Amino acid sequence: MSEMPLPPVARREPHTTTLHGHTLHDDYAWLRNKESQEVTAYLESENAYAEAWMAPTKPLQETLYREMLSHIKETDESYPYRYAGYYYYSRTVEGSQYTIYCRRKGSMETPEEIILDGNELAKGHPFMALGAFAISEDQNLLAYSVDHTGFRQYTLHLKDLRTGETLPDTAERVGSIVWANDNTTLFYSVEDEETKRQHRLYRHTLGQPQSVDVLVFEEPDERFNLGAGKTRDLKFIVLEIGSHTASEAHFLPASQPAAAWTLIEPRRDNIEYYPDHRDGLFYIRVNDSGRNFRLVTTPVDQPSSSHWRELIPHRDDVMLEDVDLFATFAAIGTRSNGLPHIEIAPFEQGAKLGPAREIALPEPVYSVGGGTNPDFATTSYRYGYQSLVTPASVYELDITTHESALRKQQEVPGGFDRTLYASERVFATAEDGTRVPVSIVYRRDTKTNSNPLHVYAYGSYGYALPVGFNGNRLSLLDRGVVMAYAHIRGGGDMGKPWHDAGRLMQKRNTFTDFIAAVQHLTARGYGDPARVSAEGGSAGGLLTGAVTNLRPDLFRAVISHVPFVDVMNTMLDATLPLTVPEYEEWGNPNEPAAFEYMLSYSPYDNLKSGAYPAILVKTSLNDSQVMYWEPAKYVAKLRTLKQDKNPLLLYTNMAAGHGGASGRYDYLREIAFDYAFILRTLGVERT
């Protein structure tokens, strides 16, 4: 057996930034030079070291890969939805990495038309991600966008679905796409080349060169992004412009794409609003009277707030997350006590809503949300449901009878028996007495008081951590690992105030909530305190970096995916993508108080000499959201400080972006690598 190589050592090159009386030392700033051969060589040496340390797990990785693959129905198709005379669906084929998008005219018995084949788009490329996907109202033209690097920089293409011809119309750095009702006019947004902020909206006429496209709107404020969409009744195109805390919307008739845009209500600090349209009225979800939003209506010709009439009031304990409008009913999405709900309310007279009926759900821990419902005049409502033990399911609710019918449930081959698994929800008590929800799943026949415990969380941007099914997870559960998902502050699990309580000058609550969740779980026998692993990605990687600094003794292993660990250097560089818009999430370090607070938790700046758990850090060279150099610098610095024999691994995907590998089989290989690291470091030896 060959000897384990020594870990790579990155050279140090002093670099300092002085602000507010503090000097930040960054000896690894040189790693930012992506074009440098030295940087490439360093990343590749880290990859080689990680592969060498993981080499004994190669058989386990292969076993895990085969297990996870056995739980996937490789040749499968989605449940179709009907729209404008066609049945639309997608499918996968065994051995193919990407999804194929299809339709059939009139019924599912007619010949299949392949709209777009992801496998064809991926040919010759190590990476492929589909961005926007919009079909014209006459169903003849497809506008779509593709990224081939992982940098989330999408190129617009148009395809004539009647002939299969790809048209010459194109544009670069495209975000949202929406067709006008004339089937020849297309609106698309583009991003700033440096900051990747969607800041311009263009109007394109089919067949015309991009050089004559009309710039219809440009947003100068660097905190704001823009995007366009269409109301479900097809009456209006809506331009939404938003930051993390404020928004505004403009509209024009979808049948008059050259008309002037009308502003609904000027943006105001800390006020967000989102409009939809039905029967001459805008229905606007807005948080002007409370953080958890209310619903108001206003006439199209009098859209400003002085004419708003309240339809659903604000509630302190219920977050109004979404309102889907249809001709005869509204589907109202709410969140309370950490769980999502859907209510169906009929329209009685005009805008008046009748009594709402909640869709009954069978489990105490679950995820539910609206499905694909493009038809404004529908008499049924499709929604998706899943839980930690119930595979993803498509239901259709009859609006008249309020009865739900299961249309398709994700098939999980390979001997899956849901009765072998149990899910629970508990509440941990944070330092300040706040009750933090935690969702748990485990295999019943392996549950003892000494199971290995794996805890995942995110906790940023008001994002509610979904509690869904994942067949890959069975490989850990079947080996006795208890898995938990902590719904910590900074997320949106308990409404908008939950987000507020874990951002800006209260961000540390996110970290202490996670620590409290881990302590609660081990104290109550859900896991062995000596065998706990933590996982988070992106802003969740900030979480894992912070809690590893705060309480390294709590964890035996940590996995950080594309982690936002270099908070200070990144947030002080306004030329980087996301920096300025994210002042509203983390704070502006050019302000002394914010600088001091952010510096107190920034993982890179708070590394110190001592013992650390086993750590696997994964990144991608073409990540546009958390640049590869953040995790690379973090690992390089930590190598000089850690005083233990636990592994510290950095693995960089040299041909992908923020989400890792794009092909479904390649992605499974990445998960097998992660799971093998967890099992090895937690002492679960069985292959």
* Burial annotation 320-354 (CB, 10 A radius, 16+ → b, else e): bbbbbbbeebbbbbbbeebbbbbbbbbbeeebebe
pLDDT at 1: 44
pLDDT at 687 over 60: no
pLDDT at 151 > cutoff 70:
yes
pLDDT for residue 152 is more than 80:
yes
Tens of pLDDT, residues 7-25: 999 999 999 999 999 999 9
Average pLDDT value for residue range 597-610:
98
CB count within 10 Å of CB 309 equals 10
Q: Which of 367, 404, 475, 538 is catalytic?
A: 538
pLDDT mean over 596-616: 98
Burial class (CB in 10 A: 0-12, 13-18, 19+), 460: buried
Tokens of 202: 């263009």
Between CA 233 and CA 411 the distance in angstroms is 34
- Is residue 559 helix, strand or coil? strand
pLDDT the model gives residue 2: 59
- Please pick, among 623, 624, 662, 674, the residue that the annotation labels catalytic: 623
Question: pLDDT tens across 257-282, in order?
Answer: 999 999 999 999 999 999 999 999 99
What is the C-alpha to C-alpha distance for residues 581 and 677, in angstroms, rounded to an integer?
35
pLDDT higher than 50, residue 377: yes
Identified catalytic residue from 199, 250, 487, 658: 658
Residue 409 has a pLDDT of 98
Give the whole-angstrom CA distance, residue 96 versus residue 565: 35
CA distance linking residue 365 with residue 479, whole number of Å: 23
Fold for domain 16-69+414-681?
Rossmann fold (3.40.50)
The mean per-residue pLDDT over the stretch 182-197 comes to 96
Q: What is the mean pLDDT of residues 308-317?
A: 97
Does 97 score more than 50 pLDDT? yes
The stretch 631-653 carries a mean pLDDT of: 97
Decide if 538 is catalytic. Answer: yes
- Which of the four pLDDT bands, split at 50, 70 and 90, describes residue 4? confident
pLDDT digits (tens, 9 = 90+) for 340-361: 999 999 999 888 999 999 999 9
Asked about 189 being catalytic, the answer comes back as no
At residue 658, does pLDDT exceed 80? yes
pLDDT of 388 reads 98
504, 596 contact by CB (below 8 A) = no
- In the chain, where are the structural domains located? 16-69+414-681
pTM value?
Answer: 0.96
Q: Report the mean per-residue pLDDT for the chain.
A: 97
Mean pLDDT of 329-338: 97
